[in-house]
Amino acid sequence: MALLPILRYPDPRLHKIAKPVTSFDDRLRKLVADMAETMYEAPGVGLAATQVDAHERVIVIDVSDTRDQLRVLVNPEIVWASEDRQVYDEGCLSVPGIYDGVERPARVRVKAFDADGKPQEFDADGLLAVCVQHEMDHLMGKVFVEYLSPLKRNRIKTKLVKEERELKKDRVAVAAR
């Protein structure tokens, strides 16, 4: 297994649209294992393949406190969403340090495959419902900050671009030593 680098907003690769998985093979299982390791290490509750620059419809999620309830969703689909909605303070491994409220359907029914191609269907509410919808947005090239006002989004962009520049400077300084 290996840790994968996570793309940071506003990297344009975060806006690529993921393609459906067509073969459930060792390559897919390795991607899933690496994504799970990367998510646990970060640590985060969910990660979409888009965030590690793999543009396929693959998501890993673990919203448990014990961090041992890994869910792998391949080619996920939302087949039903509730009319009632909830606002949840979302964060994202690609938008480090930023949390803001996003309104989404409170409950959803999800169909997907696991890494071996076995179909699964489940109902989600609470954090799991938020997480599934947030990660599925990534697969469509959408980052949660796009739900916020243009003013907030621009502030976030400016802050992250500045941080990225500082990080690069530090890396160069270390390399020069």
Tell me which residues are annotated as active site.
135
CB nearer to Ni ion: give 61 or 92. Answer: 92
By the rule CB under 5 A, 108 interacts with Ni ion: no
By the rule CB under 5 A, 136 interacts with Ni ion: no
Judge contact between 31 and 49, C-beta under 8 A. Answer: yes
**Count of residues interacting with Ni ion (CB under 5 A):** 1
By the rule CB under 5 A, 18 interacts with Ni ion: no
In angstroms, the Cα distances linking 82 to 78, 85, 90, 125 are 11, 7, 19, 10
Could you tell me whether strands 85-90 and 119-124 are parallel, antiparallel, or unpaired per DSSP bridges? unpaired
By the rule CB under 5 A, 49 interacts with Ni ion: no
By the rule CB under 5 A, 45 interacts with Ni ion: no
Beta strand ranges found along 62-153 (DSSP E): 71-81, 85-90, 100-105, 108-113, 119-124
Tell which one of 92, 102, 132, 156 touches Ni ion (CB under 5 A): 92
**Where do contacts with Ni ion occur on this chain (CB under 5 A)?**
92
